[in-house]
Structure 1
Amino acid sequence: MIGLQEFHDTILQVNVVELISYIKDNRNPLKLLFINLEVNQDNSAFTERILVFINSMQLSNEQKGSDEIQFLFKELGLYFMRANVFGSALNCSNNIKEHIFKNRLKAWMHYKMYRKVESHCKLFDKYLKKLSTAITNGVEDYENDVLRDLHVYYEQTVSLMEEKNREAELVAFKALFEDVGLVEEYPLLASYQENKYQFTATIEIGEEIPKIYEPSDFTDDLFEEKFLRYIKAHPDTRWHEILLGYRQFIVRREIIKFGQAHFDDPYRNLSANDVVKLYSYFNMRKHYYSSLHLLERFRHIADFHGTNGRIKFIDVGCGPATSGIALVDYLHTINGGTVSFDYFGVDHYRSMRQEAEYMMQNVVYENTDSTFFMQSLGDIDFECLENANSIFINTCYLFASDNLNEEKLAVEVLNVKRSKRDVPFYILFQNTTDPAKNVKYENFKRHLNYDEKPLLRVNSWIRYNNRRNSLYMPTEELVYFEILKIE
């Protein structure tokens, strides 16, 4: 990753054309630089010198309007906004062409210029007017980011008035958020009232309810369509004893290697796709039930569905989208109808990513422009997180992998968190209860510097039948679950 001083020193030695080329070639590392840039005196000094130097370059309108220079002004502006450096934020705002972020900066600067506490009441409508211009550019919708700006402003102002013992102004300020005239004039305020629980809701973990899981109508049809029919119809299958030409114990032990095979590799006459279908038969369904159990305990995730902004469900070690399907099924069961959230399938194996994409193409999930697949979490496009109302990092049996680099994963997870610092951020974990298979998970938490008490930590028996209304005794498996909230 490029360091701030390295970037600063490079800029001082290049001309405009070279600067644009440098940013174009290093855009993702520079994005990571600003995502991880902590607010402190040294960093503020470096960023201000960078801004002064860019302004001294006498950029033409074409150069100033280039994607690369606009990217730099926006990233600098975000830093100065976090660092509360008014003059430098104003400088960036004056140089930004795209009006959405420019108007967000203007709204922030509007209340930063107040010198009297009562201005927060007297000028509230002017603030709403400025902030409302940052909701959409006619193509993209940024309302969730704007609502977060409004919520931050509300909390900061309430804190200020309480600190100064301005009780009358505090009562008046809170009342403005429910003023009928303002709510009617500024739809943003009405949207805030409808969605503010996103920012204030108390997180509750549901009680564990003993049950025997089985496929829903939706997943019963889905599993049949996506892999069961394929295996049953194969000429070398003798259901249930021989699958695609191999006995079950050979499949489990040698072909899918108990879920740890190199899934891009064929096995004798079987293609990589065949191997993945066999994995789905043996492993996907049982992990689907355990994922569904975890979602049922953490009902808070449903609060974000169908509201302003988008759930970003980042499924690390996604396999054939096992947990993604569980989330689709869970939300569909609660609300009925179709389900819509952004799904990020992260898996080392191309064959698994392809199967995950195939699984997410179904009658319940609205997958148009809402699925993203990558080999590593480090490959994520941070711009795809722009309209997040929540971010969930899902890890289903990920830490049982011998090949996982948990330190690298922790860095990548923190990059995602810092890219959307104000958005609720959770890690969903499930794995075997074998302590030897959870060493990497404990190392991962240490690399996150996570020393809080998890929202949930429990070993639970997951009992399930793969057939609906089965009369057989259920299969059962003891699973270790945790839910972490990352601040």
Structure 2
Amino acid sequence: MKPEDLLENVVLLDSDNLIRFVTDNENGMRLCFLQAHPSTETNKIFQRVISSLAQKSLADWEINTPEIQSLYTHLAFFFKKANKWQYVDTCTTNIEGNIFKRRLSAWLHYKRYNTYQLHLDEFENYLSKLSLALDDGDDDYTYEILSDLHEYKTISIGNLPEKYKTAVIALFEDNVLNEKYPLLKQHKAEELSKLPDIDVVKDNGKIHIPTLFAQSIFLETFITYVKDNDLFGYSIQQAAEEVIKKGQANFDLGYQTLTSTQVVKLYCYCNMRMHYFSSLSIFERSKLLDLFYKTNGKIKFIDIGCGPATSGLAFVEYIYARTGLPSIFDYFGIDISITMQQQGKEMMTNVAFPSTNTIEFCTDIEQIDEFYLENSSCIILNACYVFASEHLPIDKIITYINRIKIRFPYTPKYLLFQNPVYEPLNRRYLEFKASLVEKEVIYTNKERIFYYNQRNQYGEPKYRDVFFEILKL
């Protein structure tokens, strides 16, 4: 869909047919806004869309339908990107109270400043408005909200005279304010580790959405259970920060009254879908399926730090979607947590991964019986968000790679790597890569991946900035 196509339908259709049009063309509309670059012509087209919506005199119940809410939300974030606050204001007025409205309201708050001094006087009011978005809803938008705060600090404050810039930065560092506003404290802790580098490439060609296959597994294995228990009494922010400790908890221990199984289910609810879609992204960037699937032997997938078999399940779907048939490959998941392994077994028990495939879980890569690798068309070592861990046994992984290279010299071997984009979190990976005697970089890039956690979800997509690399070993 092009911007002019959207305009034509908004102008011509009555409210009922417009709502139906958005329903039928939601994916195309999402990509239209994602790919639209602010320009004089595009701005005029979307301004006319806003005017046409206003001229329809939609009833409140029509404005509050998910479809019209989605349209206003996409328009608001486009004009935010275009730095046209008046149009953002118009759209935000028509968005009902949700995380998007709260984020936009915070942005509008500082865009209305007409003196430098207001950046100082209104700093706490801005933080209060943005903080309201943290616990709004069942999805964790902390990354996006921190990025909003990061944008304010780096772009808006960056244009201030030095006197005011220094004063505002001092407010960011103020210990009292950091204790009063957890968002500010978290920004201070994570500013150098998780927020995007400037060289990230936006993958504007695709927005990942759960397929019916993936959605059914997510619902069956963790979403329904967690939501039926009201996230066990925690907000999504508390679950991510306190219970699963941003993915670094000991998952074989419970948390307060929660069992280890419940903690793992919360981990899946908070983190799994993001890693799932980033895994799909790296599979789509490789040629491995075209080269080695159902050739001389089977693909062997060794999942280092597998968690709940997130990448393994994504590889199942990748093959299933490409072929329309159950996937044929052998899976070996490695994780120090037995509870995570149990969750992984549950995930991999599905119609698209037949029992004729080998599936093994272990706590150490050296526990994999190399007998299972003998009929390989290729061996994939997958490393999804594990190299940031200081506990990853890199020496063992290098020893294992060297051993299978000697034993299977003619079998193609690849490493699929993904991690946050910030370089200090990739220090151990770069050291690991430097220690490999023979390797060829097949693909490397830092990309922004867009996704929705649910099917038929309206509004702006979530995103993550990911460092991808594929090595031929």
State the partner residue of 1:143: none
**Overall identity of the aligned pairs, in %:** 41
State the partner residue of 2:208: 213
Q: Structure 2: how far apart are the matches of 1:383 and 1:209?
A: 43
Does residue 275 (structure 1) correspond to residue 263 (structure 2)? The answer is: yes
State the partner residue of 1:231: 226
Contact 1:360 1:367 in 2 (8 A): no
1:259 to 216, 240, 247: 247
State the partner residue of 1:465: 452
Q: Secondary structure at the match of 2:454?
A: coil
Within a 5 Å distance, the mapping from 1:390-429 to structure 2 comes to 390-429=378-417
Within a 5 Å distance, the mapping from 1:125-274 to structure 2 comes to 210-234=205-229, 237=230, 243-274=231-262
Q: Which deviations, in whole Å up to 9, do the C-alpha atoms of 1:159-185 show, x marking residues without a partner?
A: xxxxxxxxxxxxxxxxxxxxxxxxxxx
Q: Secondary structure at the match of 2:205?
A: coil
How far has the Cα of 1:366 moved from its partner?
A: 1.0
Residue type matched to 2:387 in 1?
Answer: F
Does residue 338 (structure 1) correspond to residue 303 (structure 2)? The answer is: no
Q: Structure 2: how far apart are the matches of 1:333 and 1:273?
A: 30
Name segments (4+ residues, structure 1) moved above 6 Å: none
Of 413-422 and 280-289, deviating more is 413-422
- Using the size of structure 1 for normalisation, the TM-score is 0.54
Task: Describe the shift of the 1:369–1:483 C-alpha distance in structure 2 as closer, same or farther (beyond 3 A).
Answer: closer
Q: Structure 2: how far apart are the matches of 1:298 and 1:285?
A: 20
How far has the Cα of 1:443 moved from its partner?
A: 1.2
Q: Which deviations, in whole Å up to 9, do the C-alpha atoms of 1:254-306 show, x marking residues without a partner?
A: 21110111111111111111111011111110000000010011032243223
State the partner residue of 2:469: 482
Task: Describe the shift of the 1:209–1:419 C-alpha distance in structure 2 as closer, same or farther (beyond 3 A).
Answer: farther
Q: Structure 2: how far apart are the matches of 1:290 and 1:263?
A: 22
State the partner residue of 1:378: 366
Q: Secondary structure at the match of 2:466?
A: strand
How far has the Cα of 1:395 moved from its partner?
A: 0.2
Larger of the two Rg values belongs to structure: 1
Give unpaired runs (5+ residues) of structure 1: 1-206, 238-242
Q: Secondary structure at the match of 2:226?
A: helix
Residue type matched to 2:325 in 1?
Answer: G
Residue type matched to 2:207 in 1?
Answer: I
Residue type matched to 1:482 in 2?
Answer: E
Contact 1:226 1:359 in 2 (8 A): yes
Q: Structure 2: how far apart are the matches of 1:271 and 1:387?
A: 40
Q: Which deviations, in whole Å up to 9, do the C-alpha atoms of 1:406-430 show, x marking residues without a partner?
A: 2222112222332211101000000
Task: Describe the shift of the 1:255–1:298 C-alpha distance in structure 2 as closer, same or farther (beyond 3 A).
Answer: same
CA-based RMSD: 1.6
Q: Structure 2: how far apart are the matches of 1:465 and 1:248?
A: 16
How far has the Cα of 1:468 moved from its partner?
A: 1.7
State the partner residue of 2:425: 437
Q: Which deviations, in whole Å up to 9, do the C-alpha atoms of 1:334-380 show, x marking residues without a partner?
A: 10021111000011111111111111001111133510111010111
How far has the Cα of 1:308 moved from its partner?
A: 3.2
Within a 5 Å distance, the mapping from 1:74-89 to structure 2 comes to none
Q: Secondary structure at the match of 1:254?
A: helix
Residue type matched to 1:328 in 2?
Answer: V
Of 463-472 and 211-220, deviating more is 463-472
Q: Secondary structure at the match of 1:395?
A: strand
Q: Structure 1: how far apart are the matches of 2:232 and 2:362?
A: 29
Residue type matched to 2:363 in 1?
Answer: Q
Does residue 456 (structure 1) correspond to residue 443 (structure 2)? The answer is: yes
State the partner residue of 2:121: none
Contact 2:207 2:450 in 1 (8 A): yes
Q: Structure 1: how far apart are the matches of 2:233 and 2:368?
A: 39
Q: Secondary structure at the match of 1:330?
A: helix
